[in-house]
Amino acid sequence: MMRAFLTPRFAGMLALAVIIALLPALLQNNFQYDIAIRVAFNATVVIGLNLLIGYTGQISLGHAGFLGLGAYFSAITVTNFGWPPLVALIVAALIVGTLAFVVARPILRLKGHYLAMATLGLGIIIAIILNQESWLTGGPDGMSVAPFSIGGYELYTQKQWYWVAGAILLFATWLSLNIIDSPVGRALRAVHGSEVAAEVVGVDTTRFKVLVFVISAVFASVVGSLHAHYVMFLSPIDAGFFHSVELVIMVVLGGMASTFGAIVGAAILTSLPQVLTFLEDYEHMIFGLIMMLVMIFLPKGIVPSLQGLLKREAK
């Protein structure tokens, strides 16, 4: 019985829960709470994206588009039409999931650079639409968003949002760990390892690529909705190309095919620019240097590389 509790998956979940529970003791002001919330939101998106990129080996440079769609759908329906935010969030996730399902089949026939180009195009199209349809979205000026409320209770303060974001992150981590350690997860990893080998033992590789694309899009959409209500302001930049690239960097930096790596990658890439602001003009230079050094010395990403080092030490 004890052994079941000492598995890496349980130990990891426990460590994450403890960190989320104890972190507020270290957070001194709303600014630091804000960073923690953004880390949790980004980490949740990146966990989903890591299932697609890290585990299944399919690139996407358009996931900020799905995030933006979820965010704008919630913003518009709640702010302009008075939908309950939770309903808007769920409907947004269903719509984004359906869109991802429809585009996935043609897009995921492509491989490598071509897949990158196609997803890039998809993200850009979404950003352009959000930019152009200003009667609905406010265009480049952005739009303000009503706060998140549920049963008359409004989520308003940073502290409240911190617990929501932390719970969502913990839930997403649990789902991701579940998927990976299951027949579905093995099929996803097999698609990455050898598509033809997966096919000849009965894995319908197309189905699993589509499935993981939809899952990752839904993760992004849900976070997009929450993010819109949290910041209470949206602009098309949130759905843009640079945000997509940022998400991919978080996956690679933290470590491909590692759920906890995704969290570490999101935490570093989200908080480091804030930590480095004291360097003023040199901020971006040092930031770039740190990223380069990490990728040179920990080429598999932070978490898998460190795990590898620990294993070698143990032997």
Instruction: Give the shortest CB-174-to-other proteins separation in angstroms.
Output: 8
Is residue 127 a contact point for other proteins (CB under 8 A)? no
- Kindly state the helix (H) or strand (E) to which residue 212 belongs, with its residue range: helix 205-231
Is residue 200 a contact point for other proteins (CB under 8 A)? yes
Interacting stretch for other proteins, rule CB under 8 A, among 105-113, 120-128, 153-161, 174-182?
A: 174-182
User: Which residue, 4 or 25, is less far from other proteins as judged by CB?
Assistant: 4
Interacting stretch for other proteins, rule CB under 8 A, among 58-66, 127-135, 189-197, 259-267?
A: 189-197
Interacting stretch for other proteins, rule CB under 8 A, among 62-70, 95-103, 178-186, 268-276?
A: 178-186
Q: Which residue has the tokens 């440079």?
A: 61
Cβ atoms within 10 Å, residue 193: 11
Instruction: Give the shortest CB-114-to-other proteins separation in angstroms.
Output: 21
Is residue 98 a contact point for other proteins (CB under 8 A)? no
Cite the beta strand spans of the chain per DSSP E.
Answer: 143-144, 148-150, 153-155, 233-234
CB 255 within 8 Å of CB 305: yes
Q: Which of 199, 232, 298, 306 binds other proteins (CB under 8 A)?
A: 199
> In this structure, what DSSP letter does residue 234 have?
E
Tell me which residue of 84, 43, 49, 87 sits closest to 66, measured CA to CA: 49
Backbone dihedral angles phi then psi of residue 62, each to the nearest 5 degrees: -130, 15
Give the residues lining the site for other proteins (CB under 8 A): 175, 178-179, 181-187, 189-190, 192-194, 196-205, 211, 215, 257
